[in-house]
A and B are shown apart, each in its own frame.
Chain A
Amino acid sequence: MPEKAKPQVVKYGDVTQRVGVEVIRARGVDVEKLIKMLIANAAAEFASTYYYYTILRMHLAGHEDYKEICEDARLEDRAHWELIVPRIYELGGELPNDLPAFHDQAGCKAAKLPDPPTAVNILTLLLESERCAIRSWIEICDLTFGKDPRTYDMASRILNEEIEHEAWFIELLAHERDGKSIPSGHFRRGEPGHAPYSKNASFYNP
């Protein structure tokens, strides 16, 4: 005898609701809050970091090693942005159709070129930007753990890279500012923008 069908949350053929959303809501995820947080994090990855890191790396002239590492962080933040956006739409959200409005949703301050743009000032800014990103992504992990495996997996992969970025900038800043060796424990990426966690089996991530 076939098992009695469970009550459907989403009606047969209904395209206005998503089972993929309702099942995580049923498990306790505040989907609307999650969408807001993902938009804020997408804005931080794209507007607060990717865009401004583009400028920061230009001003690390004479420090080619720092420049390369800044470039790795920049491209990986772009990979994060590419990873987050599909998930926002899957959940039923959408990006603001206005770039300044999008920029203003970021939960981390824009990494604008410091004055004066010394290597120490730039590395300090990079370090604090990565720290804000870690705090933001672990919040998404906490919100989704055990309830929304797809978002959790994505957030966890991004968090992995943000934690590595923090370690890089601690190492470089300690060396540049304090003359100290505080190893990150890492070596260079395979190629710029390698993004070993966030480009591994991505949703759509050119």
Chain B
Amino acid sequence: MVVLGFTARHDYLRIMNSSPEVFNVTLLLPDRECSILVGRDEHIWDAAMAAGIPLPALCHQGYCLTCAGRLEGGGEVDQSDSLVYFPEDREAGFVLLCTGKPRSTLRIRTHQQAQMRQHRKHKGLLAPYSWSTVQTP
């Protein structure tokens, strides 16, 4: 799209037409870093998928911890759509991307399911997918 002689960013119209409550979310993936825009009523996982960034997820209910991420540098995420989310998770900076909605600009390290399970176990909280007596050789 050409506007006033220069090529606009592909997401220019989205930014200009959207409500002011669209937040910049930087995803720190295992192999790269990328930024996306996420609306106030949009789940971060969905926005990432729409931007062509597939993230881990399983239950899509905010329960199983597969989609876990961790905030870097603070910020606020609304986890009211998550079935299970503890104050201790928030204190430790863990977020559930499948059901988390941004309330500020964010930097999120993705692929944190193992770390969040460990955190939950350490705190004695619900931690699905973490039980096994089998030791890795």
**A residues with CB within 8 A of B:** 31-32, 35-37, 39-40, 43, 91-94, 96, 101-102, 104-109, 128, 131-132, 135-136, 139
Contact = CB atoms under 8 A, between A and B. Distances in A.
Contact of B61 (A93, A104, A108): A108
B86 to A, nearest CB: 13
- For this complex, into which size category does the number of interface residues on chain B fall? 20 to 34
- Say whether chain A's binding surface is mostly helix, strand, loop, or mixed: helix
B84 interface: yes
A40 B132 CA distance: 10
B127 A104 contact: yes
Given A135-B58, A139-B58, A96 B63 contact: no
A135 B128 CA distance: 15
B134 A93 contact: yes
Contacts of B64: 40, 107-108
A132 B128 contact: no
B55 interface: no
B63 A32 contact: no
Contacts of B34: none
Contacts of B60: 131-132, 135
Interface in B61-90: 61, 63-64, 66, 83-84
Interface in B12-54: none
Contact of A107 (B128, B134, B136): B128
A107 B131 contact: no
